[in-house]
Amino acid sequence: MSAVVASAFPSSPAWRVPVARAALVVALLVVWQWAPGQGVDALVSRPNLVAARMANWLASGLLIRESLATLGAVVSGFVLGAAAGAVTGLVAGLWRALGDLVEPWLTALFALPKSAFIPLFILWFGISAKQHTLFVATVVFFFFFFALFNGARAVPAAWQNVFSLAGARPWQTFIMLYMPASFGWFLAAMRLAIPHAFVAAISIEVVASRNGLGHLVKTSSAVLDSTGVITAILWLVLLSTTLGAGSIALAERTRWRR
């Protein structure tokens, strides 16, 4: 039966999907370029204006400076939040009493919109790079906590018994069993946390900042410069996609990837 279905619906060549994606992008660019002159508000800008603005900002160094400011907050906050979340999640997952105590409270905090905490971070830390880093770290923390918490608790009891019967010490069991078993959960948390780290950094930069891509979006919006807003957003998409793909590819090359 499966052979009949396969012959009736042969698989598409590998080149069709990339070509279809490229065609979709081209079609959207054409519509975008044409729409502002056909009764659509000119404030939506045009692709050629966005491309020219991006080239101008790159040549002047403005886009690089603001990108480095945002990337500094994203990378430092991501590392801090990932480390704290992973360690706390593993400890809470292995120490069941502690996990049962803190998990409901962290679940409640995780459900809250993180933007609601921005005024508190401004009051506590002022408008500074520390404020941005700690806010990003707070957002990232929850992804790694719940991933590693569930990863530690998902390890079958039979595997734990095998290590106990083999005479493995607790630190050996932790390194040889729990860390490899939780690495897939770690990668899943990384895939989810990287875009949210950028969202957190941009959100707090839009509200209170002196530099960064979010600040560039805010200042462009304040003067009704839609071309500047769209340029900053598209550059941010490029940065987040590149950083996310690169970090995942690097992580999957480790010996624990399976």
User: Which of 109-118, 159-168, 215-224 is predicted with the least confidence, judged by mean pLDDT?
Assistant: 159-168
Distances (CA, A) of 28 to 15, 31, 34, 36, 107: 20, 5, 10, 13, 40
Residue 68 lies in a domain: yes
Overall number of domains in the chain: 1
Residue 256 lies in a domain: no
CATH of the domain at 207: 1.10.3720.10
Residue 1 lies in a domain: no
Q: What does the block give as tokens for 198?
A: 């950028």
DSSP-H helix ranges across the chain = 2-8, 16-34, 47-60, 62-94, 96-111, 118-125, 129-153, 157-165, 170-173, 179-207, 213-222, 226-251
pTM: 0.76
Show the domain range for 238: 49-251
> What are the tens digits of pLDDT across the range 10-67?
555 677 777 777 787 777 777 766 766 554 455 667 788 888 888 999 999 888 999 9
Residue 20 lies in a domain: no
Residue 132 lies in a domain: yes
Per-residue pLDDT averaged across 114-121, rounded?
85
Residue 29 lies in a domain: no
> What are the tens digits of pLDDT across the range 183-227?
778 888 888 898 899 889 998 888 888 888 888 888 888 888 888
Residue 96 lies in a domain: yes
Residue 172 lies in a domain: yes
CA 148 to CA 155: how far, in whole Å? 11
Predicted pLDDT of residue 5: 42
